[in-house]
């Protein structure tokens, strides 16, 4: 990445590259299962409110910090104020935790792509298919290695530009296909109950957990609180409008997530009756429900191939940005060559990824805080570390460098219309809410609070 600094030629390049990192498994796999689990409409409402306040303010702050300093996370905080460089280090840990388990799920996507490619659509649509696949040992390891191997190869070759070019084609196709499948899903008989569940907020389902889950998802989905947007900001030209870029990235990211919910949640009602067990299925939701939709479609096998190919692509662009970040940190900090850093990160990710992978199989009796490895890594990064980094970032911007620094950066060539909203969120709303949420999430994980 470093050798590519300021490589985004214009706004479109920047927005698409940032959206390429943001749009990934988080949108298509994680968002729908969280929305289904945490009350449908109420989750969606909370998520959207958080996007236009927290998400907006934090993304503005991160991209502006990157652009102002021209550096990635660790260096950027250091340059602005030496005492606070630890925030950059903390942010840098997050992608290292996410990458291994992200690649395990990436491997599942490759397996599904293969299953549809060889025409075993009805097999993939069976209830037990997913569960029996992930609880094996050898097969999931093979698919995981293919995914992480591909990610490492691309990072090693540094073909980022190629990836960017391909994203310019693949991203629009992803949008069209998502819309198409969502419309099909909504039109199935019996789907309306799901659409209602998804769009009509039921305020009795509101709880602190809903906000917590929505906030964790927001950071994850927008690649926030992990230094990525700082790095991307450092490649951005000064005359490009920060505010409208952030709005576009958010629209892209949230639009795809909402669409993915529309593909999956109504289908849960059609095929499983919308029972709490079906809605609370968790990580398996996409893998169990969508194949059933494809099975009923004319040409479903082809659509299934297309769909999983695009999910794979979205996942790869994200995993590449995750690995790239970790590799560049290892390169810089340990003064290793790029090749060697790649190897170190690869070996580390395989080792940690195997924990997550086997945690669903032969090691499923091992639990940390009652969670399987994959869920535990997801929890530590999304519900603990990211809120901490987001909190520290908002304090740093709100009280150390002051919102004015960001506003000035945003107003170099353009107007910053929502600057008052930005200052308010970053100074007051974000720190207070994040602390409340963080405390309640940790307490509830330790069983000290039921929310
Ligand atoms: N935002 C990605 C997603 O929603 O799948 C996940 C992700 C990618 C997180 C890249 C962090 C990152 F650096």
Report how far apart, in Å, the C-alpha atoms of 69 and of each of 72, 136, 322, 328, 384 are: 8, 48, 21, 17, 27
Span 182-222, pLDDT tens digits: 999 999 999 999 999 999 999 999 988 888 889 889 989 99
Atom 8 in ligand 1: residue holding the nearest Cα = 318
Best residue among 322, 323, 385, 389 to mutate for probing ligand 1, ranked by most atoms within 8 Å of CB: 322
Within-domain flag for 198? yes
Tokens found for residue 257: 């997530």
Average pLDDT, the chain: 90
Span 303-342, pLDDT tens digits: 899 889 989 988 998 998 899 888 888 887 888 988 999 9
Confidence at residue 6, expressed as pLDDT on a 0 to 100 scale: 46
- CA–centroid distance, residue 338 to ligand 1 (Å): 22
Q: Would residue 190 be called left, alpha or beta, if left means φ above 0 and alpha means ψ between -120 and 50 degrees?
A: left
Q: Reply yes or no on whether the pLDDT at 2 is more than 60.
A: no
Within-domain flag for 158? yes
1 band by pLDDT with thresholds 50, 70 and 90: very low
Whether the model pTM is above 0.75:
yes
Confidence at residue 3, expressed as pLDDT on a 0 to 100 scale: 45
Contact 107, 140 (CB under 8 A): yes
Distance (Å, rounded) from C-alpha 148 to C-alpha 347?
10
As for how many domains the chain has, the answer is 1
Helices and strands in the chain: count of H runs, count of E runs: 24, 0
Contact 347, 145 (CB under 8 A): no
Best residue among 1, 17, 26 to mutate for probing ligand 1, ranked by most atoms within 8 Å of CB: 26
Q: Reply yes or no on whether the pLDDT at 159 is more than 60.
A: no
Confidence at residue 329, expressed as pLDDT on a 0 to 100 scale: 82
Span 55-96, pLDDT tens digits: 999 999 999 999 999 988 888 999 999 999 999 999 999 999
Atom 13 in ligand 1: residue holding the nearest Cα = 322
Within-domain flag for 436? yes
- Domain CATH for 292: 1.10.4160
- CA–centroid distance, residue 252 to ligand 1 (Å): 14
Best residue among 1, 154, 222, 223 to mutate for probing ligand 1, ranked by most atoms within 8 Å of CB: 223
382 band by pLDDT with thresholds 50, 70 and 90: confident
Residues 119-143 have a mean pLDDT of 94
What domain range is 249 assigned to?
A: 11-445
Contact 434, 384 (CB under 8 A): no
Report DSSP letters for 1-67, one per residue.
Answer: -GGGTT---SHHHHHHHHHHHHSSHIIIIIHHHHHHHTTTHHHHHHHHHHIIIIIHHHHHHHHHHHH
Within-domain flag for 166? yes
Within-domain flag for 451? no
Q: Reply yes or no on whether the pLDDT at 259 is more than 90.
A: yes
Within-domain flag for 4? no
Any ligand 1 atom below 6 A from CB of 22: yes
Within-domain flag for 450? no
Distance (Å, rounded) from C-alpha 141 to C-alpha 126?
22
Span 216-246, pLDDT tens digits: 899 899 999 988 899 889 888 899 999 999 9
Contact 89, 325 (CB under 8 A): no
Within-domain flag for 1? no
Confidence at residue 372, expressed as pLDDT on a 0 to 100 scale: 85
């Amino acid at each position: 990445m470093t050798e590519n600094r300021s490589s985004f030629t214009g706004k479109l390049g920047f927005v698409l590259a940032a959206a390429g990192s943001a749009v990934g498994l988080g949108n298509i796999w994680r968002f729908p299962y969280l929305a289904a689990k945490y009350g449908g409409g109420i989750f969606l409402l909370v998520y959207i409110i958080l996007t236009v306040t927290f998400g907006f303010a934090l993304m503005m702050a991160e991209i502006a910090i990157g652009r102002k300093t021209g550096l990635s996370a660790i260096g950027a905080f250091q340059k602005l104020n030496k005492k606070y460089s630890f925030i950059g280090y903390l942010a840098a840990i997050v992608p290292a935790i996410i990458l291994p388990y992200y690649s395990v799920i990436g491997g599942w996507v490759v397996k599904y792509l293969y299953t549809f490619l060889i025409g075993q659509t009805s097999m993939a649509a069976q209830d037990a298919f997913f569960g029996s696949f992930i609880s094996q040992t050898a097969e999931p390891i093979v698919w995981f290695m293919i995914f992480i191997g591909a990610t490492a190869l691309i990072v090693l070759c540094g073909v980022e530009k190629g990836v960017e070019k391909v994203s310019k084609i693949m991203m629009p196709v992803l949008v069209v296909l998502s819309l198409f499948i969502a419309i099909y899903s909504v039109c199935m008989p019996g789907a309306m109950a799901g659409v209602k569940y998804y769009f009509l907020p039921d305020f009795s389902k509101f709880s602190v957990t809903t906000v917590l889950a929505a906030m964790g998802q927001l950071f994850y989905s927008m690649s926030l609180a992990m230094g990525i947007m700082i790095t991307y900001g450092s490649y951005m030209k000064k005359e490009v409008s920060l505010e409208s870029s952030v709005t576009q990235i958010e629209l892209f990211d949230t639009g795809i997530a909402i669409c993915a919910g529309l593909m999956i949640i109504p289908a849960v009602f059609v095929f499983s009756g919308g029972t709490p067990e079906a809605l609370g299925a968790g990580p398996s939701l996409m893998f169990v429900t969508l194949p059933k939709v494809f099975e009923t479609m004319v040409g479903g096998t082809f659509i299934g191939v297309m769909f999983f190919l695009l999910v794979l692509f979205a996942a790869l662009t994200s995993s590449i940005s995750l690995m790239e970040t970790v590799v560049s940190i290892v390169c810089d900090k340990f003064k290793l060559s790029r090749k060697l850093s790649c190897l170190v990160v690869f070996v580390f990710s395989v080792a940690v990824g195997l924990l997550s992978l086997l945690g669903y199989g032969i090691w499923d009796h091992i639990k940390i805080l009652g969670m399987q490895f994959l869920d535990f890594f997801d929890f530590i990064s999304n519900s603990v570390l990211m809120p901490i980094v987001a909190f520290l970032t908002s304090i740093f911007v709100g009280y150390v460098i002051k919102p004015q620094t960001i506003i000035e950066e945003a107003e170099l060539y353009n107007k910053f219309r929502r600057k008052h909203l930005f200052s308010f969120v970053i100074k007051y709303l974000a720190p207070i809410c994040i602390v409340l949420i963080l405390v309640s999430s940790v307490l509830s994980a330790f069983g000290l609070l039921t929310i």
